[in-house]
């Protein structure tokens, strides 16, 4: 199980990486592993204003459909269109090519509500 440093994590198993004023969002290695083979991703609409904890989209696997909650507030600036035809990229590379959306940051202080890699790893171990 991977817990990359430098990312911020939620208790719902989303991650966010800050790149300037852009927040890149995806689901964690733990989440994709729990879901199994991902077969469909519902992406947010470009330009949508999202508040922290709002539903950003859904991920459908052979086991279940799970909602993706936004770890941060912002406007949807970019979506990973590749997931429309290759949703399993999330299984192969959840922290890289498997990102879901990029948001223009609204309030960087919201990051204080999220966990760092060590805190998230401890949270996952408790949950297991």
Q: At the top level of CATH, which class does the domain 8-108 belong to?
A: mainly beta
* CB distance 94 to 29 below 8 Å: yes
Q: How far is it, in rounded angstroms, from Cα 67 to Cα 78?
A: 19
Least Cα distance to 70 among 49, 96, 91 occurs for 49
Q: How far is it, in rounded angstroms, from Cα 98 to Cα 43?
A: 12
Quote the pLDDT of residue 1.
Answer: 87
| pLDDT tens, per residue, the chain with 128 residues | 899 999 999 999 999 999 999 999 999 999 999 999 999 999 999 999 999 999 999 999 999 999 999 999 999 999 999 999 999 999 999 999 999 999 999 999 999 999 999 999 999 999 88
Please indicate, yes or no, whether the overall pTM of this predicted structure exceeds 0.85.
yes
**Sequence ranges of the domains in the chain:** 8-108
* CB distance 56 to 71 below 8 Å: no
53-59 long-range CB contacts below 8 Å, 24 or more apart? 56/14, 56/25, 56/100, 56/101, 57/100, 57/101, 59/27, 59/31, 59/35, 59/87, 59/90
Q: Is the CA virtual torsion 110, 116, 119, 123 positive or negative?
A: positive
Runs of H (alpha helix) within the chain: 29-35, 89-92, 117-127
């Amino acid at each position: 199980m991977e817990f990359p440093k430098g990312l911020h994590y939620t208790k719902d198993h989303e991650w966010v990486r800050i790149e300037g004023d852009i927040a890149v969002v995806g689901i964690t290695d733990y989440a994709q592993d729990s879901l199994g083979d991902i077969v469909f991703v519902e992406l947010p609409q470009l330009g949508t204003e999202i508040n922290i904890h709002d539903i950003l989209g859904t991920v459908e696997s052979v086991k279940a459909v799970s909602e993706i909650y936004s770890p941060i507030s912002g406007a949807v600036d970019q979506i990973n269109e590749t997931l429309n035809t290759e949703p399993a990229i999330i299984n192969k590379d959840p922290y890289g090519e498997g990102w879901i959306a990029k948001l223009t940051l609204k309030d960087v202080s919201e990051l204080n509500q999220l966990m760092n890699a060590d805190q998230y790893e401890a949270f996952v171990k408790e949950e297991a």
